[in-house]
Amino acid sequence: DTAVSQTPKYLVTQMGNDKSIKCEQNLGHDTMYWYKQDSKKFLKIMFSYNNKELIINETVPNRFSPKSPDKAHLNLHINSLELGDSAVYFCASSQDASSGNEQFFGPGTRLTVL
Amino acid sequence: QQQVKQSPQSLIVQKGGISIINCAYENTAFDYFPWYQQFPGKGPALLIAIRPDVSEKKEGRFTISFNKSAKQFSLHIMDSQPGDSATYFCAATPSGSARQLTFGSGTQLTVLP
């Protein structure tokens, strides 16, 4: 009965590889997000989708491509992984994109690029 | 440019003491100010939030104080407990159609037994 789930929890890979992180929410929310948390725990939004439509796209390398097959899923695909991509990636969801709506975060995916 | 500045970076408090974490913002368009709590290995979770039309909000041992003119807000944790040991993030979101959260840099709180 997990609200926001992510797979995998840990991902260790070599530089240059392509990898994907999957996210699913069972809360019936319209809006989903991807955040990156760096080694200093700084949280920064990467993308936001509302009803499968991209509404926020921060300054993120185009090696990162989100995909939302339906409003319950938001996957993150990363091409040509670099050392600096090592971080914890969090998926989150909220009822909609309005201010004041609580964002529910997943457990995170720790990505390590060797 | 960091739009939400948070201090201190780390805080150590004795059990039963008061923990105070401060945040300051620059963007006057911000209209929602939540605090998130993150335990090791977990995602952040909403703790308490405030809008600028009130100066204080209290939920149990947690209180947000808000000073709109100074563009500052703070989290007070009364009677701090070891179970409160976590990283706390202030955040802010502006009015508008795509209301993304901008987080502060986080405060690592340790409550000693």
pLDDT attached to residue A76: 96
Tell me whether residues B101 and A45 touch, CB distance under 8 A.
yes
Question: Using one digit for the tens of pLDDT, what is the confidence trace for B7-45?
Answer: 999 999 999 999 999 999 998 888 899 999 999 999 999
User: Chain B closest CA to A16's CA: distance in Å?
Assistant: 27
pLDDT digits (tens, 9 = 90+) for A75-94: 999 999 999 999 999 999 99
User: How close B79 comes to chain A (CA, Å)?
Assistant: 26
- Candidates B16, B33, B34; CA nearest to B84 is B16
Report the pLDDT value the prediction gives residue A51, as an integer from 0 to 100. 84
Strand, helix or coil at B32?
strand
What is the mean predicted confidence (pLDDT) over A25-32? Answer: 93
Segment B46-84, tens digit of pLDDT: 999 998 889 999 999 999 999 999 999 999 999 999 999
Q: Which residue of B has its CA nearest to A10?
A: B41
